[in-house]
Amino acid sequence: MLSRFSSVAIVGKYMDESALQRMQTDLTRLAHHLLQSGVHVCIEQHTAQYVGFEGFHVASLNSIGEKADLVIVMGGDGTMLSVGRVLRNTRVPLIGINLGRLGFLTDLQTNTMLVEIDKILAGDYQIETRMLLQTEVTRQSNTLVDTVALNDVVIKSAFRLIELEVHVNGQFVSRQRADGLILATPTGTTAYALSTGGPIMHPDLEAISIVPISPHTLSYRPITVPAESIIEVVVVQADDAQLNFDGQGQYALAVGDHIRIAKAHQEIQLLHPKDYCYFDMLRNKLNWG
């Protein structure tokens, strides 16, 4: 039976030359294995440049989604977040091979990756859809930022308390003073939100978690709202407030700025081995008994 995936792209930790050189052996082994399996292989251009690939088709990350049926990402969760955002409009499924620390999104291991990849190419896999957050920042009716996040949107002050006003679907929720606020997807609840006391949400849920960072009012607790909610946050008082997406893009905020967060129209698809279990992953990554 022919595989659904006749063209496969490989992306390493493309913004980090030293990381790519460290994973050179594994990347090369994977690329040649796919080629020997009869699959057309495409290498992301920075990955190809730093690893020294020859004889493979090379493409930019922005164009990979048009050329590949499947994208294999080798790195950590940060690499997967970045690649997922770039390819969000293509709906090309992603597989993650973990070379990072925890690896909540990159669940394959290098020592078993070839066996697992062969199973996936043969159709033995499960597919999972992850929601994204669309965020728009306006200042005096001018749009400053319009982008998406897979994990979270974080509003934070580095050294002083920030005062924020939060509304959900036009209804006033709270006015709070804290170190900041996290708006997390279910994917993002095992990231920064987890360390600030937020809930873990199963990725099949359609919801957004609103998690305060060290609130001055101790009774202010995390709250989870339906994914279709429109969340609006107004910066009331701040000296050095910053906004970031998935911990990778930073923007300076000012008093009066409006941040609008909603479920994005796009989604990303992750492929896992057939025997993948979310609870097994949590237990192993978080050292549960």
Q: For 124-168, how does the pLDDT look when each residue is reduced to its tens digit (9 = 90+)?
A: 999 999 999 999 999 998 999 999 999 999 999 878 899 999 999
Q: Of 31, 187, 5, whose CA–CA distance to 93 is shortest?
A: 5
The predicted model gives 199-214 an average pLDDT of 96
Q: Extract the tokens encoding 194.
A: 């987890």
Q: Which of 79, 94, 134 is closest to 269 using CA atoms?
A: 94
Q: Extract the tokens encoding 284.
A: 């192993």
How far apart (Å, rounded) are the C-alpha atoms in residues 191 and 48? 30
Categorize the per-residue pLDDT at 281 as very low, low, confident or very high, splitting at 50, 70 and 90: very high
What whole-number distance in Å separates Cα of residue 125 and Cα of residue 2?
Answer: 15
Catalytic residue among 77, 107, 179, 257: 77
Fold of 7-123: Rossmann fold (3.40.50)
- DSSP label at 151? S
Give the pair of three-digit tokens for residue 188.
């993002």
DSSP 221-239: --EEEETT--EEEEEEE-S
Residue 203 has what pLDDT? 95
Q: How far apart are CA 104 and CA 77, in angstroms?
A: 7
Active site (annotated) includes residue 152: no
Q: What burial class does residue 171 get, using C-beta atoms within 10 Å of its C-beta: 0-12 exposed, 13-18 middle, 19+ buried?
A: exposed
The CATH code of domain 132-266 reads: 2.60.200.30
Residues 179 and 154: beta-carbon distance below 8 Å: no
Instruction: Work out the number of other CB atoms within 10 angstroms of the CB of residue 129.
Output: 13
d(CA 109, CA 28): 15
Boundaries of every domain in the chain: 7-123, 132-266
Indicate the angle between helix axes 24-36 and 113-121, nearest 10 degrees.
Answer: 30
Average pLDDT rounded to a whole number, residues 31-52 = 92
Q: What is the pLDDT of residue 14?
A: 87
Secondary structure of residue 22 in the 3-state scheme: helix
Residue 104 reports pLDDT greater than 50 = yes
Q: Do domains 7-123 and 132-266 have the same CATH topology?
A: no
Pairing of strands 231-237, 258-273: antiparallel
